[in-house]
Amino acid sequence: MIDAYIAFGGQVRRQTAIPPDELPPEAIWIDLRNPTREEEKAVERLCGLEVPTREEMREIEVSSRLYSEDGGDFMTTSIVYGLDEGRPGFGPVTFILVENRLITLRYTEPRSFAIYANKLCRGEANGEGDRALQLPGFDLYGPPAAPPKPSRAKGPTADSIAVGLLETVIDRVADLLEAIAADLDRIGADIFRSSADNTPTPTSDFKELLRRIGAAGDLSSRTRESLATIDRLLPFLQFVLDRRKPQKELKLRVKAMARDIHSLNDFVSFLSNKTTFLLDTTVGMISIEQNAIIKIFSVAAVGFMPPTLVASIYGMNFVHMPELNWPLGYPMALGLMVLSAVLPLMFFRHKKWL
């Protein structure tokens, strides 16, 4: 499917589900979503370059993800999707800057693209959203103000759209990390709440805890991978912008994104350490539960050893055993077995081993 965004009078109009033969040449952003081969060929004819295939987008070499060819600059990164559905994943997305046009190629539905596209069409991505909320000639929080001057802000460009998309992607990654941190906090609370109970924790609860910890650890590691791809992309984007000579503000925004990436990487390291701590704690609690069960069997075995010894002695069937002809021999043997079982248990209770 092809979505095209056309700059018109400082605003942006969106055209969705465009047929390949009706692709508007004045579009500043062409978004290819799960494109067919006919749609790819239409974009290739319009822009004079070759669109990478899905297999090429999955390659991990830097030279296959960041390169310039046929007058276009190709940048591929891994972007998170599926957060709102509760099934987060990561998929490659390619940004192509060619002349005054941005082309994005993707086979997933990252929420960040929809968020930025809506902001772009409302004018908020170009700094115009707040001005539309104020009535001309009036200040909502003070005395009447002078009529606003006509805006000299230029409409969005391909460069500013690419930077804005990456900023929105980084914001979504930060949201994902916050969700992982909150989930780890809940897992920690569940772990220590179960350890405070006197009743044994069921095996199913431990399995669920290990599943949740594993899911959080896997998600944080894949987030680190996504941040690594974006971190490698930003210097190349800075080089491309230096060559294209855009507004100075865009270069500052790219530097700000680089700082955000470094801070998010530090936070991912913290989450990885916390995941390891929770995993070790859960495994330790499982060991404690297993040791408690083994201790019960050990105490039971020790408790039954003296009665077994007494029963073995009087079960040897020797001819000369005075107790065999004694009328109170049988009750004495039973009492001796009970006493030999009770005394070790009382000793264990006194030592607080039970």
Of the chain, the percentage scoring pLDDT greater than 70 comes to 88
User: Is residue 45's pLDDT more than 60?
Assistant: yes
> For 275-298, what is the mean pLDDT?
84
Q: For the chain, how far is it from start to end, CA to CA, in angstroms? A: 69
CA atoms within 13 A on the CB side of 341: 13
Confidence of residue 15 (pLDDT cuts 50, 70, 90): confident
Residues 104 and 77 sit within 8 Å (Cβ to Cβ):
no
Instruction: Kindly tell me if the per-residue pLDDT of 16 is higher than 60.
Output: yes
Beta bridge mates, 4 = 15, 30
Write down the pLDDT at residue 131: 30
Find, among 163, 56, 85, 84, the residue nearest to 120 by Cα.
163
Q: Is the pLDDT of residue 326 over 60?
A: yes
* Candidate from 218-227, 291-300, 330-339 with smallest mean pLDDT: 291-300
What number is the average pLDDT over the span 159-178?
90
pLDDT confidence tier of residue 196, bands split at 50, 70 and 90: low
* pLDDT number for residue 198: 63
Tokens of 90: 């990561």
Distance CA(97)–CA(73), nearest Å, equals 5
Q: How far apart are the C-alpha atoms of 124 and 131, rounded to whole Å?
A: 9
- Report d(CA 156, CA 11) in Å as an integer: 8
Whether the predicted pLDDT of 270 surpasses 90:
yes
Residue pLDDT, tens place only, 94-152 = 999 988 889 999 998 888 888 888 888 887 655 433 333 333 333 333 444 444 444 34
- Percentage of the residues of the chain whose pLDDT score is greater than 90: 17
CA distance linking residue 288 with residue 194, whole number of Å:
12
Range name among 34-48, 99-113, 288-302 with the lowest pLDDT average: 288-302
| pLDDT at res. 82 | 78
Q: Which range, 139-148, 253-262, 311-320, is most confident?
A: 253-262
CA distances from 94 to 17, 39, 126, 172, 350 (A): 19, 16, 23, 17, 71
| Average pLDDT value over all residues in the chain | 81
Return the minimum-mean-pLDDT range out of 146-155, 163-172, 313-322.
146-155
Distance CA 257, CA 251 (A): 10
27 has pLDDT over 50:
yes
pLDDT at 125: 58
Please report where in the chains the tokens 């290819």 appear, as a residue: 32
What is the model's pLDDT at position 133?
31
Q: What is the pLDDT of residue 102?
A: 92
pLDDT at 274: 92
The residue count of the chain comes to: 354
Q: Which residue has the tokens 């079982």?
A: 341
The mean pLDDT value for 171-188 works out to 89
Average pLDDT score over residue span 170-187: 90
Going by C-beta distance under 8 Å and a sequence separation of 6 or more, which residues neighbour residue 4? Answer: 14, 15, 18, 23, 24, 27, 29, 30, 31
| 76/64 Cα distance (integer angstroms) | 8
Per-residue model confidence (pLDDT) at position 147: 43
* Average pLDDT of the residues in 203-215: 85
Task: Please give the residue that has the higher pLDDT: either 320 or 127.
Answer: 320
**Angle in degrees, 0-180, between the axes of helices 158-196 and 203-244, rounded to the nearest 10:** 160
Q: Look at residue 199 in the predicted model and tell me its pLDDT.
A: 66
**Beta-carbon neighbour count of residue 219 at 10 Å?**
21
Mean pLDDT check: name the lowest of 224-233, 258-267, 318-327. 318-327
Please state the rounded mean pLDDT for residues 246-251: 81
CA distance to 196, 260, 298, per residue, from 349 (Å): 22, 59, 14
Q: What is the CA radius of gyration of the chain?
A: 35
* CA distances for 307 relative to 60, 280, 342, angstroms: 70, 41, 10
Q: Which of 314, 316, 308, 305 is nearest to 333 (CA)?
A: 314
